[in-house]
Structure 1
């Protein structure tokens, strides 16, 4: 227990009874994100079998801080404790630095007890964890933009070249439809991941996300006159829309399908009240990073914070790491049906 003035705080493991309070706290805090919601622990446990020791700080019966954690113990990538695994944001959300310190102290104790290589926070704002932590702020960036109330204003706000691509898609007869078509989403996601040299997730994972988050998770498919050419899974949180997993048919990119897809996400989100577009994480200076800049979004650095436990150096599991280059090149050459079968055997380990 931590004592601070009149505030006595204890850190406990999250249970089902506290989940409504956890989520209400996340929604109420500026630092809270969709990726801090308690539902993710059910997603990762059900889809991948990972243990998720989510920590909650209580003052009396009141939630004053939360820290989602996923324990990844896998054959390929070892033993890690990550906040938040498979997602772009994480780390503690707390009412003040004392509560944050209590959560971090409990997380370090858990990491040491589990014998992990390291504890990792994926933070929008770097914390003040101390000299025992190392921070990497140059590898990843995220992208945000406020939205206008009308389609006309939002379309005009897109830089001219990308706006022309959106209009190209409209002229080509592309349309969008909201539907929970997991098979179609998985197909285009597997295609996109294969082309990037990355194992795709299972349909079970995607279905579990939709089941756990309900109306807050939405599958949008893109149709051409000849048939489906793309799909995207987006999340809705407060006044934000967050397109997260997407894929398109390579042959349809000449019709502007990528730009049309994100325009439709934006247009439909504004109609349901969204006023902020979160374009998500990209590795600095990669194709997706540049694409988001072409849309007029400015990069915001993400701060990956590491507390080494058994490791002696900060890990680098990035696809940009030269030691993964041959594996990535080989994966890109796989036939799509083969990559669909093999992907789920590997992707649950990535985190």
Structure 2
């Protein structure tokens, strides 16, 4: 498909991403400061191959150059509704544009697609508001992100951690915890699945993590934490520009008594700083959760994420999150379920949450 807008300086055309243009798309992402790791073309492959969701990765072009992008995916289920988002399974993914004509072109494409599909709502995940003056778009305070600059000096980074949290890190060090890179996802998945089961949250399929690792290669790192031969914890992180983004992680039951999670993020911070990383992105958390408190305890200040919603067939904003009271009984039941059964059933549920 191709749509055209004439401007005073150039003609802007709209296109759908094809595999042959992945490199061009990613080159635009790498060169554009507002773009993030979650704008990478690889997410199209991951979402389609893992879950079979339909995607539309739009890009605007001027004089043969990409000047704007908008990745979209459709989510459709009886339990969680029918919606279009940029981008499910990602923290961010809204419009990124370097030409004035590109943003309205991409916005209009999303609006037309949402109407064509008959979705309940359209969601844009932004770091800063993109439609603040447009009454058709709504927002709600739910998520924040935690980002902080780190130095190349371990002692300086350690001293920047508040005293109580620093004591937990030192506990893990004294107990002999060590971290190392793992090339497979099996041990990582065991830690991740154990953690989310204790939280009463459905698990992503192991296939999802295998495809992420396959698609992003060395830009995706799996780090495991062990005490001698005992598996304690694991984290999957992304490297992008001068940033490290620990994205999925978890610990075995022994992580609590060994300060395994505390040590794990310190170990990652050390390794990332040593390779020249200067931004530690602790990722998204919901307000009022344990993950939110944990990240604040590290001395990271929360920054609100500007998620914007446009309603179509839906009468109100979606509320598909564990803090919704209607899910509390489900969470209690899930925690009591045998982990093997939870790991089998979880992917059928979480595939539609995004």
**2:47 counterpart of 1:44:** yes
SS at match of 1:69: strand
Q: Tell me how far apart the structure 2 counterparts of residues 143 and 175 of structure 1 sit (CA, whole Å).
A: 25
**What is the CA–CA distance in structure 2 between the aligned matches of 1:211 and 1:251, rounded to whole Å?**
29
Q: Does 1:150 align with 2:127?
A: no
Q: 1:250-308 deviations in whole A, cap 9, x for unaligned?
A: 33322211110000111111122211000000011211111111101000000110111
Q: Aligned pair 1:277/2:300, yes or no?
A: no
Alignment match, 2:290: 287
Q: Which residue of 1 aligns with 2:302?
A: 299
Deviation at 1:93, TM superposition (A): 0.6
Higher mean alpha-carbon deviation, 222-231 vs 141-150, is at: 222-231
Q: Distance in 1 between matches of 2:296 and 2:285?
A: 11
Q: Is the 8 A contact 2:165 2:298 kept in 1?
A: yes
Q: Which of residues 7, 14, 17 in structure 2 aligns to 1:14?
A: 17
Q: How does 1:1-351 map to 2 (within 5 A)?
A: 1-128=4-131, 130-136=134-140, 138-225=141-228, 227-351=230-354
CA shift for structure 1 position 350: 1.2
Structure 1 residue 76: Cα displacement: 2.1
Deviates more, 1:31-40 or 1:121-130: 121-130
> How high is the TM-score relative to the length of structure 2?
0.96
Q: Does the CA contact (< 8 Å) of 2:68 and 2:97 recur in 1?
A: yes
Q: CA contact under 8 A between 2:254 and 2:260: conserved in structure 1?
A: no
Deviation, structure 1 residue 31: 1.2
Distance 1:305 1:222 in 2: 37
Give the whole-Å Cα distance in 1 for the aligned partners of 2:188 and 2:160. 28
1:114 is displaced (CA, Å) by 0.9
SS in 1 for 2:55: coil
Q: Do 2:86 and 2:124's aligned partners in 1 also have CA atoms closer than 8 Å?
A: yes
Mark the runs of 5 or more structure 2 residues left unpaired by the alignment: none
Superposed displacement of residue 249, structure 1: 1.7
Name the SS of the counterpart of 2:101 in structure 1.
helix
Q: TM-score, normalised by structure 1?
A: 0.97
1:3 positional shift: 2.8
Q: Secondary structure at the match of 1:30?
A: coil
Distance in 1 (CA, whole Å) between partners of 2:198 and 2:60 is 43
Cα offset for 1:97? 4.7
Q: Deviations over 1:76-110 (max 9, x none)?
A: 22221111101111110111453212111101101
Q: Report Cα offsets for 1:184-208 as digits up to 9, x if no partner.
A: 1111111111111111011111100
> Is the Cα–Cα contact under 8 Å of residues 122 and 309 in structure 2 kept in the other structure?
yes
Query: Hey, what's the Cα distance between the residues in 2 that align with 1:166 and 1:2?
Result: 55
Q: CA deviation at 1:62?
A: 0.5
Alpha-carbon separation, structure 1, partners of 2:21 and 2:325: 44
- Backbone CA RMSD of aligned residues: 1.2
User: What's the secondary structure of 2:288's corresponding residue?
Assistant: coil
Taking structure 1 as reference, are residues 301 and 97 closer, same or farther at Cα in structure 2, changes over 3 Å only?
Answer: farther
